């Protein structure tokens, strides 16, 4: 049977913004972040996120694997803090493993599995995540598609996008 405090906890999770929920459960977070639906570790107080970050639907782990060896070592438990710098974008479906530090000005591609720390100014992707290029190289490769729409209203952006010539859109 659920206790009253469990019911209150579930209610908070429903009404709080994802960032407010993360702060409530103990994640240390800077300012001006966009936090999507994230799956925090059972030790959220071991997670630190800088400022100006965008975390899409991702999972952050601070421990794992202990249950598989507890038949032999019943009290085994190990943990790793996760630190995310400033101006970081974490794509949807990313898994961040215990002990990882993600530097500032980093882009982590969707679906990546981050098993090692990432230095400042890098773009990483893959399973396991590996360095693809620097942020500056990423910008140089993609600046031809920049339309300068940041800060536009939704209606102004829609109008601009619907009027753009085909060569201004990314093609794969």
Q: Each residue of 60-80: pLDDT tens digit?
A: 999 987 788 888 899 999 999
Examine residue 6 and state whether it is found in any structural domain, yes or no.
no
pLDDT digits (tens, 9 = 90+) for 89-136: 999 999 999 999 999 999 999 999 999 999 999 999 999 999 999 999
Predicted TM-score of the model (pTM): 0.88
- The more confidently predicted of residues 39 and 118 is 118
Q: Is residue 172 part of a domain?
A: no
Q: Is the pLDDT of residue 1 over 90?
A: no
Angle between helix 18-25 and 4-15 (nearest 10): 140
Work out the burial of residue 84: count CB atoms within 10 Å of its CB; fewer than 13 is exposed, 13-18 middle, 19 or more buried.
Answer: buried
Domain that holds residue 152: 26-161
Whole-number mean pLDDT of the chain? Answer: 92
Residue 74's domain is classified under what CATH number? 2.160.10.10
Asked whether residue 120 is assigned to any structural domain, the reply reads yes
SS (H, E, C) the chain: CCCHHHHHHHHHHHHCCHHHHHHHHCCEECCCCEECCCECCCCHHHEEECCCCEECCCEECCECCHHHHCCCCCCCCCECCEEECCCEEECCCCEECCCCEECCCEEECCCCEECCCECCCEEEECCCCEEEEEHHHHHHHHHHHCCCCCCCCHHHHHHHHHHCCHHHCCCC
Residue 42 CB coordination number (10 Å):
10
Domain count, the chain: 1
What integer pLDDT is reported at residue 156 of this predicted model?
96
Residue 23: is its pLDDT beyond 80? yes
Within-domain flag for 41: yes
Residue 57 belongs to some domain of the structure = yes
CB atoms within 10 A of CB 30: 14
Residues identified as active-site:
63
Is 140 inside a domain boundary? yes
Asked, for residue 7, whether it belongs to a domain, the answer is no
Q: Has residue 4 been placed in a domain?
A: no
């Amino acid at each position: 049977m659920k206790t009253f405090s469990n019911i209150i906890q579930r209610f908070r999770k429903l009404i709080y913004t994802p960032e407010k929920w993360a702060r409530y459960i103990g994640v240390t977070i800077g300012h001006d972040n966009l936090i999507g639906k994230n799956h925090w570790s059972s030790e959220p107080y071991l997670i630190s996120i800088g400022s100006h970050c965008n975390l899409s639907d991702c999972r952050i782990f601070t421990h794992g694997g202990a249950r598989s060896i507890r038949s032999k070592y019943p009290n085994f438990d190990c943990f790793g803090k996760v630190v995310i710098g400033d101006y970081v974008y974490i794509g949807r479906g990313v898994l961040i493993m215990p002990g990882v530090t993600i530097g500032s000005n980093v882009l982590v591609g969707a679906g990546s599995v981050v098993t090692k720390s990432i230095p400042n100014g890098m773009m990483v992707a893959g399973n396991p995540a590996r360095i693809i290029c620097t942020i500056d190289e990423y910008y140089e490769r993609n600046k031809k598609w920049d339309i300068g729409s940041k800060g536009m209203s939704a209606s102004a952006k829609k109008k601009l996008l619907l009027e753009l010539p085909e060569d201004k859109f990314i093609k794969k």
